[in-house]
Amino acid sequence: MQLVVMAGGTGSRLWPISRSNFPKQFINLVTEHSMLQDTLLRVDGLKTDAPYIICNESTRFLVADELQNINVTDSNIILEPVGRNTAPAIALAAFDAISKGQDPILLVLAADHVIKDQDEFIRIISSAESAASKGKLVTFGVVPNAPETGYGYIKTGQQESDYFNIEAFVEKPDLDKATSYLASGDYLWNSGMFMFKASTYLNELKLNSPDIYASCEIAIQQATTDMDFIRISKELFEQCPDDSIDYAVMEKTENAVVIPLDAKWSDVGSWASLSDISDKDEYNNVHQGDVISVDTQNTYVYSPDRLTATIGLQDLIIVDSKDALLVAHKNNSQDVKKVVKQLKQENRSEYSTHREVHRPWGKYDSIDNGERYQVKRITVKPGAKLSVQMHHHRAEHWIVVSGTAKVTNGDKTFILSENESTYIPVGVVHALENPGKLPLELIEVQSGAYLGEDDIVRFEDNYGRVAK
C-alpha cells in the first residue's frame, strides 16, 4: 500500500488563519500536529511505502519541513505547477509509481481531514485492501449523523461482502433532501478518500477520461527532479483538463464501490464545523488561545497571539490573527469565502500571506512598517543560510537578538553575536547564515523608496531559487 496525500487546497473558508500561501493543512488547528502531519501519522499502523504528497509549487518547502518534523525521511513530493483538481493529481502519483516498476495499492487521502477514531479508521482501511487488490475502485462513505448540506452524497446499492455497489453520486442537497437522505439510511457522505491499484485507476482513467490520461502520462515522462521534489512542466500540465476524480472516473466506471466509515470524520470545511468537533466549556464555548468570556454562549474564539475578551455574545465565530480579525455568525460561516474572494479581487496581501511568512531557511514577521521603512523579526534555523543577494532600492540594518550570525557584507565576512549589528547599503551583495546549533533571531530594519519582496536579486541559493 502506498499513501497519496492531496495537499494543494487553499482552505479559504478558514480565513484568516488559512491563506493561499499557508493553507489549513499546515496549521495546528485540532492537535499539536498540523493537519498534514496528522494525515501521515494516522496510517502509522499500516505497512506503507514512501508516501506521495501532491502540493503546489509555493508550498513545497512547507511540505518538506512538515515531513521532516515528524521524521518522514522517505517521500515523493510532486509539485503541481497549476491546479487541475483531483483526477490529474492522483494520476501523476499512479504514473510515477508505475514508471518505477511498481503497481501499489494507492490509499488516497486529503491533507485537511480530521478523524478522531483512528482505530476504526485503520480497521476500515485494512478491510478495503482485498476489494482494491481485485480491481475495485473503493471510495469511503462517511455514515451521516446530521442532514448536512455542505457535502455530496453517495447512494448505496446492493451489498457485496465488505462493500456496497454504488447506485448514484449525488450533488450537495438542500436541507429537505438532506433530511430525507438521512432518514432513508441509504446515503453516505462523500468523503473524498479512495483506494485502488495504480494500474486499475490508470486503466479506468484512460477509458473514461483519455485526455487527462494522456496529459498526465507525458507530464510524468518529462518530469524533472529538483532537490527532493518531482517537478512537473507547467507548459504540459496547463494543457490537462481540470476535473475531479468523481466526474472523471468514479461516476463513469462500473467498478466503483463504497465502504461505510464511521470514525468521527470531519473535513473541517468551516469555522462552524471546527467548533462542532472541538471540546467545549459548560456554556458550549470553544476557546483557542488567550480568551476571557463573560455571559457568552455557543461561541468559538481563536486568539493565539493576544487576549480577546467577549461579553454578552451568542452563536458567533471570532478569529483573531496578527493582521486580520474575523467576526461572523455561526450560521454564516460558509460565507467567509466571499470575503476571501473580495480580498483576491482587490489584490490584498491578506488573501495570500500572513504577517509571519515561512521560508525554507526559517521565517520572518513584519512587525512594523510605514512610509520608506519596514521592521522585520527574522528567525533562521540552525545551519540554514539565506541566499546571496542584493537590493536595488533598500538598505538594511541587522541587529542580532539571540544566537550567532555569519554575515557577508560586500567583500567582508564576519560573525555577529547578541546585541551586535551591521549596516548593508543599497546595492551591496550580502548574505546571512546561522552557523550555530540554536535558532538565530534578529531584527531587520529596511529603509528605502521600495520595500517589496520582489526587489531581491539572488546570486547563490541553497534552495534552487536563483533565476535561470
Percent of the chain with pLDDT over 70: 100
Q: Which CATH number does the domain housing residue 98 bear?
A: 3.90.550.10
pLDDT digits over 22-67, tens only? 999 999 999 999 999 999 999 987 888 899 999 998 899 999 999 9
User: Does residue 466 sit within a domain?
Assistant: no
The verdict on residue 350 lying in a domain is: no
Q: Please give the residue range of the domain that contains residue 98.
A: 2-264
Q: What is the CATH number of the domain that holds 446?
A: 2.60.120.10
Q: Identify whether 182 is part of a domain.
A: yes
315, 331 contact by CB (below 8 A): yes
Same domain, 126 and 48: yes
237 touches 224 (CB < 8 A): no
Q: Are 374 and 399 in contact (CB under 8 A)?
A: no
What is the structure's pLDDT at 464? 82
Q: Are residues 336 and 396 in the same domain?
A: no
How many domains does the chain fold into? 3
First-to-last CA distance in the chain? Answer: 39
* pLDDT (0 to 100) of residue 281: 96
Q: How far apart are CA 353 and CA 366, in angstroms?
A: 11
pLDDT digits (tens, 9 = 90+) for 378-421: 999 999 999 999 999 999 999 999 999 999 999 999 999 999 99
Indicate whether 259 and 393 sit together in one domain.
no
Q: Answer yes or no: do 333 and 216 share one domain.
A: no
Check: CB of residue 138 under 8 Å from CB of residue 128.
yes
Between 121 and 58, the higher pLDDT residue: 121
Report the pLDDT averaged over residues 207-217.
97
CA distance 18 to 30: 14
User: Looking at the structure, do residues 156 and 294 belong to the same domain, yes or no?
Assistant: no
Check residue 253 and report its DSSP letter: -
Q: What is the tens place of the pLDDT at every residue in 292-326?
A: 999 999 999 999 999 999 999 999 999 999 999 99
Distance CA 428, CA 19 (A): 34
How far is residue 432 from each of residues 355, 420, 447, measured CA to CA in Å? Answer: 21, 14, 18
Residue 351 lies in a domain: no
pLDDT grade for 227, boundaries at 50, 70 and 90: confident
**In what side-by-side order are the strands of the sheet with 300-311?**
286-294, 300-311, 316-320, 325-329
Q: How far is CA 245 from CA 59, 97, 112, 179, 256, in A?
A: 23, 18, 17, 27, 11
On average, the pLDDT of the chain sits at 95
> Is residue 210 domain-shared with residue 314, that is, in the same domain?
no
Domain-located, residue 120: yes
In a domain, 330, yes or no: yes
Strands 394-402 vs 421-424: parallel, antiparallel or unpaired? antiparallel
Strand partners, 79: 55, 231
Confidence of residue 131 (pLDDT cuts 50, 70, 90): very high
Q: Do both 338 and 420 map to the same domain?
A: no
Q: Identify whether residues 220 and 136 lie together within a single domain.
A: yes
On whether both 127 and 147 belong to a single domain, the answer is yes
Note whether 236 and 323 are same-domain residues.
Answer: no
pLDDT in tens, 347-360: 999 999 999 999 99
Q: Are residues 287 and 164 in the same domain?
A: no
Q: What is the pLDDT of residues 152-188, one digit of tens each?
A: 999 999 998 889 999 999 999 999 999 999 999 999 9
Residue 54 lies in a domain: yes
Q: Which of 285, 315, 344 is the last residue of a domain?
A: 344
Pair (221, 107) in one structural domain = yes
pLDDT given at position 468? 52
Q: Which of 264, 284, 315 is the last residue of a domain?
A: 264
Which of 310, 344, 378 corresponds to the end of one domain? 344
Give Cα 80 to chain centroid, integer Å: 13
Average pLDDT over residues 258-266: 96
- DSSP annotation of 382 reads T
Cβ(341)–Cβ(348) below 8 Å: no
- For the cut 70, the answer to whether the pLDDT of residue 467 exceeds it is no
Q: Across residues 215-234, what is the average pLDDT?
A: 93
> Would 128 be classed as within a structural domain?
yes
